[in-house]
Chain A
Amino acid sequence: MNKRRVVVTGLGAVSSIGIGKDEFWKASVEGRSGVKEIDFFDASIFSSKIASYVSNFEPLDFIEKSVAKRTDRFVHLGLAATRLAIEDSGLKMDSLDKSRVGTIIGSGLGGVLFHEEQILAGYEKGVHRLNPHCVPRISPNAVSGQIAIMFNAQGPNMVISTACSSGNIAIGEAFRKIQYGEADICLTGGVEAPLTQFTFGAYDAMRVLSKRNHAPKEASRPFDKDRDGFVLGEGGGALILEELEFALKRGAKIYAELGGYSLNSGAYNMVIPKPEADDIAKVMLDSIRDASLEIGDIDYINAHGTSTLQNDRAESKAIKDIFKDKALDVNISSTKSMIGHTIAASGAFETIICCLAIENNIIPPTINYTTQDPECDLNYTPNIAVKKTVNNCITNSFGFGSSNSCLILKRFII
């Protein structure tokens, strides 16, 4: 059968630099950082004491109290971002064939906040006195379940849990579901709320977090010579994907078209990126082919760009290996330079940025870029946004466990 065309018609973001896609985009173009000192648990015991968090998020602005009370923060972020995306799309959910609306969301860790509270309560009161909500509140699929319940989405439903690539893969899988006719609309994206003392401690223990505690806003510096690790973050990004004819028939605003998608495993290591970077080079090449494009067609790469020594080096190598003499023609930037690494939400935020880059013909910068690393010698759109015609974008996400994925967003042309 012929694969159907899929377009992006709605965007929703709950991030440390803005709530709503307009605020998020404006802050991205201006190069604002959402990283701060942690002030909601004792971080003095950790090597890293900074994070990217959404301090002005009021769940009750988006969710009924009775729902908010029985769901964890990651679900709050997902419900809020999805509501924003649906509003942005103009879709009237009640008028749709519910069985054709899918929900595919990325969530790496699920309800760690509640999980931690219950573990502590269990030790105090006994593990036989746990809250009956433990299972449905902690399970990562609570987010796809609750979104489907709130919006009565009765189509294909799942959570993708592949660590840092979860959001990217969720969007890719939603793309496939519509391409192959299993849904006409998908509510998709990614969420993560990992900022609990235990979970933060777990990341700190891996020694992957930046220790630039004296200058939080400068800590996330992808591709820069003085980068020393990533900044952990939280947030929720949502996108509405629609089958093209459906979108055109209802006069939907179209941000971009999903061009291509590929995913693979580096089969290398749970934490360390493969230094040869042939796995991530292949995932980029495969998705360019999936989009029926050539290397030279790519205007912008929204990098995985975590600000770790190894990822940024490997990613730069992979880009050079496949772009060859065109490697310097393409603009690269990392959204993580501003909002840190939001794990499952990162793929969603970064896809949103690609859609808005296409809409506005502007490429947001990689901030905190001051010194070139000889092994990262490409054009990372340093510090200032660039006006450029953006027709075709790549967005990369490489997750712990060697889980690699890549999406292509294209300018929609009828």
Chain B
Amino acid sequence: MDRTEIQEKVIDIISEHRDMDRKNITMESSLRDDIGMDSFEAMEFIFYLEETYNIKIPDSDLGKLRVIKDIVDYLEIRFKEKV
């Protein structure tokens, strides 16, 4: 799974569940401020990532995931670990 695929998929999930235009979601978009997720919605988003990629994201990693780029970086590392 390459970086572009991951990025596209993450943006897919957000635009679908937040009913947002993809154009408005960039790598710098912050989950809280730009995408407007509250803490519960952020947790729900993490759940969808877990379901999509069949991974478990521990609480201790959540603090790292503030903007889209953080999420894509994180998933890239997790996939490399799996392999």
- A residues bordering B, Cβ < 8 Å? 64-66, 69-70, 129, 131-133
Contact = CB atoms under 8 A, between A and B. Distances in A.
Contact of A132 (B17, B18, B19, B43): B43
A65 B44 CA distance: 16
B53 interface: no
Nearest to B48: A131
A70 B19 CA distance: 12
Interface in B18-56: 18-19, 40, 43-44, 47, 50-51
Nearest to B51: A129
A129 B47 CA distance: 9
Contacts of A129: 50-51
Given A129-B50, A132-B40, 12 more contacts: A64-B19, A65-B19, A66-B17, A66-B18, A66-B19, A70-B44, A131-B44, A131-B47, A132-B43, A132-B44, A132-B47, A133-B44
Contacts of B50: 129
A131 B41 CA distance: 12
Contact of A69 (B17, B40, B43, B51): B17
A132 B47 CA distance: 7
Nearest to B50: A129
Size class of B's contact patch? under 10
Interface of B: 17-19, 40, 43-44, 47, 50-51
Nearest to A68: B19
Considering the complex of A and B, which 9 residue pairs feature the smallest CB-CB distances, nearest first?
A65-B19, A66-B19, A132-B47, A132-B44, A132-B43, A66-B18, A131-B47, A69-B17, A133-B44
- Main secondary structure, interface of A, reads loop
B71 to A, nearest CB: 17
7 contacts: A64-B19, A65-B19, A66-B18, A66-B19, A131-B47, A132-B44, A132-B47
B59 to A, nearest CB: 13
Contacts of B47: 131-132
A65 B20 CA distance: 10
A131 B45 CA distance: 10
A58 to B, nearest CB: 16
Contacts of A132: 40, 43-44, 47
B19 to A, nearest CB: 4
B24 to A, nearest CB: 14
A67 to B, nearest CB: 9
A69 B14 CA distance: 13
B2 to A, nearest CB: 27
A84 to B, nearest CB: 23
A1 to B, nearest CB: 41
A133 B45 CA distance: 11
A166 to B, nearest CB: 28
- Counting chain B CB atoms within 10 Å of each CB, the highest count among A65, A69, A132, A133 belongs to A132
Contacts of B17: 66, 69
A139 to B, nearest CB: 14
A153 B6 CA distance: 41
A132 B51 CA distance: 12
A124 to B, nearest CB: 12
Nearest to B40: A132
Contacts of A66: 17-19
A176 to B, nearest CB: 33
A69 B15 CA distance: 13
Nearest to B18: A66
A303 to B, nearest CB: 44
A287 B35 CA distance: 52
A131 B47 CA distance: 7
Contacts of A69: 17
A70 B47 CA distance: 13
A72 to B, nearest CB: 15
A374 to B, nearest CB: 59
Contacts of B51: 129
